[in-house]
Amino acid sequence: MIALPASVRVFERGWLSSNNVLLVDDACAALVDTGYASHAAQTVALVRHALGARPLDLIVNTHLHSDHCGGNAQLQATWPCRTLIPSTEADAVHAWDETRLTFRATGQLCPRFAFSGTIEPGTRLTLGALVWDVLGAPGHDPHSLMLYCAEHQLLISADALWQNGFGVIFPELDGESGFAEQQAVLELIGTLDVKTVIPGHGAPFSDVHAALDRALSRVAWLRADPSRNAKNALKVLIVFKLLDAGAMSFAALLRMVDEASVMRAAASMLKPRSAWPALLREMVEGLAADSGPLRFDGERISARAE
């Protein structure tokens, strides 16, 4: 069991939603990341149960992938809370440009939300009576941030570091640099005095050096053959969509890959378009084998219980 400061509480979520980190002190009740839209009611219930009659005052988003900000709108409708987002995403949120915000590009959903301020690397926040330094964490997402509390050797790493890996390196699918940035972020974490990591997915962990070694090895493996990142991205996005939708036809999956630009880019890195039906059929069959996350009868794909 990982010991955290009394003012820090982690809601470890399932596959669709990122973890939520509740930080409470006399001045402010803040939530870092809010999960996916279909889990928003559950997010509100978790926060309400933890806070009782007290309102939520602040949302802080490490980045704006749908599994980290999908609960923003419902939390804002429940409480008059302020919301801080990465500064480089401000224009896209203000215009609600779903292409730049990646929701449409990944075939995912996020209800429109507002923001009241921005944060960026070099910002310092006091949350849960603790001082947090905001650190840049490009790689998985060029806009992503981490929060580091030096006093308690505690890192909220979002998707930059998990106990076994990190998030998909999405910029590489668009022909942008991402592997080098991910390696640099991992090297940055290695220079910090970190005893405990609260990741975006999975339980908090303390074997930080071992996790960094695994993550650095994975970066090297992906850089050696970028198609590995593309294949992983396509699998992750397919499973995410099925866990959200419950079921869909194979024909609908083909249409979705063609329409969602990130999925289309990943598939294009693997096979020419004429070969996508065979590629996706093989991929779905693999995800359905050996009690995998999906079921597939040849025409209809469904998700196993999360």
pLDDT in tens, 165-188: 999 999 999 999 999 999 999 999
Whether the pLDDT of residue 285 is over 80: the answer is yes
Q: How far apart are CA 228 and CA 41, in angstroms?
A: 35
Query: Is 250 part of any domain?
Result: yes
Residues 108 and 173 grouped into a single domain: yes
Residue 1: pLDDT over 80: no
What pLDDT score was predicted for residue 306? 54
Average pLDDT on 213-224 reads: 98
Q: How many percent of the chain have pLDDT more than 70?
A: 99
Contacts of 53 (CB under 8 A, 6+ apart): none
Cβ proximity of 225 and 183 under 8 Å: no
Residues 67 and 50 both lie in one domain: yes
243 and 180 both lie in a single domain: no
- Across the beta sheet with 300-303, the strand order is 247-249, 300-303, 294-296
Q: Which of 185, 207, 224 is the last residue of a domain?
A: 224
Residue 137 within any structural domain of the chain: yes
Q: Examine the domain organization and report whether 244 and 139 are in the same domain.
A: no
- Distance, in Å, from the CA atom of 69 to the CA atom of 143, rounded to the nearest integer, reads 13
In a domain, 33, yes or no: yes
73 in a domain, yes or no?
A: yes
The pLDDT tens digits for 67-119 are: 999 999 999 999 999 999 999 999 999 999 988 999 999 999 999 999 999 99
Question: Do 144 and 213 fall within a single domain?
Answer: yes
Same domain as 238, residue 111: no
Whether the per-residue pLDDT at 138 is higher than 60: the answer is yes
Do both 138 and 23 map to the same domain?
Answer: yes
CATH number at residue 219: 3.60.15.10
pLDDT at 99: 85
Does a structural domain hold residue 239?
yes
Are 159 and 189 a contacting pair, CB within 8 Å?
no
**Spatial CA neighbour of 98 closest among 215, 262, 217, 249:** 262
Contact assessment for residue 297 and residue 268, using Cβ atoms and an 8 Å cutoff: no
Q: Does residue 196 sit in helix, strand or coil?
A: strand
Final residue belonging to a domain, choices 206, 224, 242: 224
Q: Domain for residue 199, yes or no?
A: yes
Same domain for 270 and 159: no
pLDDT confidence bin for 15, thresholds 50/70/90: confident
E-strand ranges in the chain read: 8-11, 20-24, 29-32, 58-60, 82-86, 117-119, 124-127, 130-136, 145-149, 154-158, 196-199, 247-249, 294-296, 300-303
Whether 2 maps to a domain, the answer reads no
Decide if 3 is inside a domain. no
Same domain, 167 and 194: yes
Residue 88 sits in the same domain as residue 199: yes
pLDDT of residue 191 exceeding 90, the answer is yes
| Total of domains in the chain | 2
Range of the structural domain that residue 72 is part of: 8-224
Q: Is the pLDDT of residue 195 over 60?
A: yes
Q: Which of 224, 259, 294 is the last residue of a domain?
A: 224
Residue 8 has pLDDT above 60, yes or no: yes
For residues 278-305, average pLDDT: 95
Give the chain's mean pLDDT: 97
Are 255 and 161 in the same domain?
no
Q: Indicate if 116 and 72 belong to the same structural domain.
A: yes
